[in-house]
Amino acid sequence: MYGFGTMIEQLKKNPKTIVFTEGTDPRILEAASRLLAGNFLKPILVGNEEDVLKAAEDAGYNIRGAQVIDSNHYDRFDEMVDKFCELRKSKGMTPEEARKILAQPNYFGTMLVQMGVADSLLGGATYSTADTVRPALQIIKTKPGHSIVSSCFILVRPSATGENEVLAMGDCAININPSEDELVEIAAETIECAKIFGVDPKVAFLSYSTLGSGKGPEVEKMRNAANKAKAQIPGVPIEGELQFDAAVSPRVARTKCPGSEVAGHANTFIFPDINSGNLGYKIAQRMGNFEAYGPILLGLNAPINDLSRGCNAIEVYSMAIITAALV
Ligand SMILES: CC(C)(COP(=O)(O)OP(=O)(O)OC[C@H]1O[C@@H](n2cnc3c(N)ncnc32)[C@H](O)[C@@H]1OP(=O)(O)O)[C@@H](O)C(=O)NCCC(=O)NCCS
């Protein structure tokens, strides 16, 4: 695995800044104090300075050295309003409306990244995924050459032999019902992310059917998407449509899908929709003893990531490192 050690070394050589939109949350403050102690990733906490410092003191975390930025007292706020109106002019954005929107930490923090004040952003300790991701979609937008922002989870299970089992799953968090072409884009992005974490991708397009055993439009969608992906992503083993057991069990694969390079050995999973994807990664996490890192946003023009509202401080710390290391 690429590993946190490597990411931290990379950040030590080239330190970055990261915005936390929920500057008074104790989990954010704990992670920020750990990052400050490590001296490789500088937190920028969004919030009223007095409130942030009091929250840190009450929770017992030392955040000396962190920058605290309050939208109500930000000296570049007028410039930010102008930039936001320009970015949203096709929506008829007025300065009055922009001021109200930018008073919200999720929009304010995202604009700090857009203006180059910060390198990256991590939010969502209290915001929903939609409320963290929407400002990024509207302000940061997709990378050139991409049509969608998607996401993947990296799942890591420590093994008794010392070698971690690492899997990638996409898209479990953003696109609700991706089309065939969007699934191909999700696969291409998930493959690249999997490689960063040391996975040699073997990609399964998942379904309730294995190579025609079941029928229906959802089966056809996954079969067609897998075929398009095979054509468009050369050099990576891809199979589909596959049921999950055929994807991971060599014994089942021998019966249902003999001769496939992927079946029985898949480590990168493309789900048909957000229902199956979100359930799939959470089952692996809660019942399969995998640690889940993500959602890691893919195809976005700057590194911005979302936390689960159930996250703890260690997860905030880990996701901050992943986010900034991907800059
Ligand atoms: C991601 C999500 C928030 C976007 O939907 P939305 O808020 O309704 O956004 P809209 O459809 O109004 O689009 C807002 C902007 O984002 C853009 N957008 C929406 N989805 C996008 C995507 N997947 N990739 C890139 N841009 C996207 C739209 O084009 C629009 O841009 P514009 O305002 O400049 O025209 C929505 O798809 C969603 O809720 N997904 C599920 C999130 C979730 O609950 N996950 C489970 C928990 S992990």
How much is the pTM?
Answer: 0.92
The residue-averaged pLDDT of 135-158 equals 95
Q: Is there an atom of ligand 1 within 6 Å of 139 CB? A: no
Cα of 137 to ligand 1 centre, how many Å?
Answer: 7
Q: Whose CA is nearest to atom 27 of ligand 1?
A: 137
Q: pLDDT category, 2, cuts 50, 70, 90?
A: low
Residue 4 has pLDDT above 80, yes or no: no
Q: Is there an atom of ligand 1 within 6 Å of 175 CB? A: yes
Among 87, 137, 146, name the best residue to mutate to test ligand 1's pocket (greatest count of ligand atoms within 8 A of Cβ): 137
Q: Is there an atom of ligand 1 within 6 Å of 68 CB? A: no
Which pLDDT value is given to residue 24?
96
Q: What is the pLDDT of residues 147-192, one digit of tens each?
A: 999 999 999 998 878 788 999 999 999 999 999 999 999 999 999 9
Residue 3 has pLDDT above 80, yes or no: no
Q: Is there an atom of ligand 1 within 6 Å of 138 CB? A: yes
Residue 1 has pLDDT above 80, yes or no: no
Q: Is there an atom of ligand 1 within 6 Å of 149 CB? A: yes
Percent of all residues in the chain with a pLDDT value above 90, rounded to a whole number: 91
Which pLDDT value is given to residue 308?
87
Which pLDDT value is given to residue 210?
97
Q: Whose CA is nearest to atom 17 of ligand 1?
A: 137
* Average model confidence (pLDDT) across the chain: 95
Cα of 182 to ligand 1 centre, how many Å?
Answer: 14
Which pLDDT value is given to residue 159?
82
Q: Within 13 A of 122's CA, how many CA atoms are on the CB side?
A: 39
Among 87, 110, 114, 134, name the best residue to mutate to test ligand 1's pocket (greatest count of ligand atoms within 8 A of Cβ): 134
The residue-averaged pLDDT of 70-95 equals 96
Cα of 78 to ligand 1 centre, how many Å?
Answer: 27
Nearest atom of ligand 1 to the alpha carbon of 148: 24
Nearest atom of ligand 1 to the alpha carbon of 142: 25
Going along the chain from its start, the domains and CATH numbers come out as 3-141+301-325 (3.40.50.10950), 150-291 (3.40.50.10750)
- The first and second tokens of residue 315, run together, are 């997860």
Q: Is there an atom of ligand 1 within 6 Å of 224 CB? A: no
How far, in Å, CA of 66 to CA of 114, rounded? 20
**How far from the centroid of its chain's Cα atoms is residue 146's Cα?**
16
How far, in Å, CA of 212 to CA of 227, rounded? 13
Task: Specify the pairing of strand 291-298 against strand 67-69.
Answer: unpaired
Q: Is there an atom of ligand 1 within 6 Å of 136 CB? A: no
How far, in Å, CA of 29 to CA of 22, rounded? 9
Q: Whose CA is nearest to atom 16 of ligand 1?
A: 137
Q: Is there an atom of ligand 1 within 6 Å of 130 CB? A: yes
Q: What is the pLDDT of residues 251-305, one digit of tens each?
A: 999 999 999 999 999 999 999 999 999 999 999 999 999 999 999 999 999 999 9
Residue 56 has pLDDT above 60, yes or no: yes
Nearest atom of ligand 1 to the alpha carbon of 130: 3
